[in-house]
Structure 1
Amino acid sequence: MGRHALMRRICVFCGSSMGFSPRYAEQAAALGKLLAQRGIGLVYGGASVGTMGAVADAALAAGGEVIGVIPEALSSVEIAHAGLSELHVVADMHERKAKMAALSDGFLALPGGAGTLEELFEVWTWAQLGLHGKPIGLVDVDGYYAPLMAFADHMVTEGFLKADYRSLLLTDPDPAALLDRFETYEPPVPPKWAKQPPGI
């Protein structure tokens, strides 16, 4: 199977803020450009600000497809991006996350805040439950996600998370390396009781 047949679009979770280090915006832009260069569409939260805006602008500038999904209540607060390939305005956050997941073949998280983590943890939980078999990666810019991964290891040590489920989170500072791993990703066998719903 060819690269683009496998990974047509990647959902990127990121923030409406830039963070304090300029590296966060730089790496968001680098990811957007990389996706476009590989012919992989970007699915994201639809805003023109923060690292969301940085990844989208870079992908668009490199000729890539960019699809935004934003709740109606946030379309003005987060300043919906006006130059996207497609912009879906949805009713609420639940519909936003479901739509982003349905449009995507994998998930990447850039550094972000509570909203980014909430989106990440939901798709991670869905993977644990066998609701999807799509790869999940963390772009670990300057060790941003190291404390989170240490806590995930702590959950394993304390018996609240299986090691197999911990390994669902692929981590690398280099987004190109993560995309390479996505192309050869083999999802774990889901629990026998799990039944994948349509559209995820």
Structure 2
Amino acid sequence: MKRVAVYCGSATPEDTRYIDLARDVGRDLAERGIGVVYGGGRLGLMGAIASGALEAGGEVIGVIPEALVNSEVANHACTELITVSGMHERKQRFTDLSDGFVTIPGGVGTMDELWEAMSWAQLGYHSDPVGLLNAFGFYDHLIAFNRKMAEVGFVRPAHQNILIAADTLDELLEKMAAYVPHTPIFRMKADDL
């Protein structure tokens, strides 16, 4: 992977482990020669991921909607800052610029980005690995929920391995590198659905 889209929160939790994690992930990706594509903000985990990667000499591409640039949260220290009209275009740019997706802790916007990356993979809009860094057990319940959707039958057997989860970045990137794309819905026949 040459670049990954990193999905994370723009908030700064009281627990400093989350900011430290984001900075470490940015640094570790840069040290591996993997560029970071992210939401283009300078606050919270977003700002920390960018700082970590930039301090390690990595490439950081921010993709931010005009409304957020106008509210002065844009990170102008990025290698490249791309301004888009809105969130749909932002997520499309993440997909176009990246070879995979890494989600670290975050809130509603982070979940929106993760689920869309998974949905687009399932449909066939991309065939890149979708990773979830379950640091500090943050995503234990989400992983269980994803498993429950599969058990009930809302996630087809062919798509049950789209979400790649691991507790450490090393393990996550190793699993993502080994990812074999599945058969997307767009290429399935009605009997398979």
TM-score, L = length of structure 1: 0.89
Deviations 1:24-50 (A, max 9, x none): 111111110011100110000000001
Match of 1:77 in 2: 71
State the alpha-carbon separation in 2 of the partners of residues 70 and 170 from structure 1: 26
How far residue 192 of structure 1 moved from its aligned partner, in angstroms, is 5.6
Deviations 1:161-198 (A, max 9, x none): 2243232111111112111222222111234637xxxx
1:18 aligns with 2:12: yes
Seen in structure 2, the aligned counterparts of structure 1 residues 119 and 78 have a Cα distance that, compared at 3 Å, is farther
What CA distance in whole angstroms lies between the structure 2 residues aligned with 1:171 and 1:20? 25
Aligned counterparts, 1:138-157, within 5 A: 138-157=132-151
Counterpart contact for 2:95–2:126, Cα < 8 Å: no
CA distance in 2 between counterparts of 1:23 and 1:38 reads 22
Aligned length: 188
What residue is the counterpart of 2:37 in the other structure?
A: 43
> Percent identity at matched positions?
46
Which residue of the partner structure matches residue 89 of structure 2? 95
- Partner Cα separation in structure 2 for residue 192 and residue 89 of structure 1: 31
Distance 2:183 2:154 in 1: 20
Contact 1:8-1:104 within 8 A present in 2 as well = yes
Point out where structure 1 has 5 or more consecutive residues left out of the alignment. 1-6, 195-200
Counterpart amino acid of residue 132 in structure 2: L
Write the mapping of 1:106-117 to structure 2, written as runs, cut at 5 A.
106-117=100-111
- The alignment's TM-score, normalised by the length of structure 2, stands at 0.93
Where do residues 25-64 of structure 1 align in structure 2 (5 Å cutoff)? 25-64=19-58
Distance across 1 between alignment mates of 2:186 and 2:146? 25
Consecutive unaligned residues of structure 2, counting only runs of 5 or more, are 189-193
Of 109, 127, 130 in structure 2, the residue corresponding to residue 133 of structure 1 is 127
Once residues 22 and 78 of structure 1 are traced to their aligned partners in structure 2, the CA distance between those partners, rounded to angstroms, is: 24
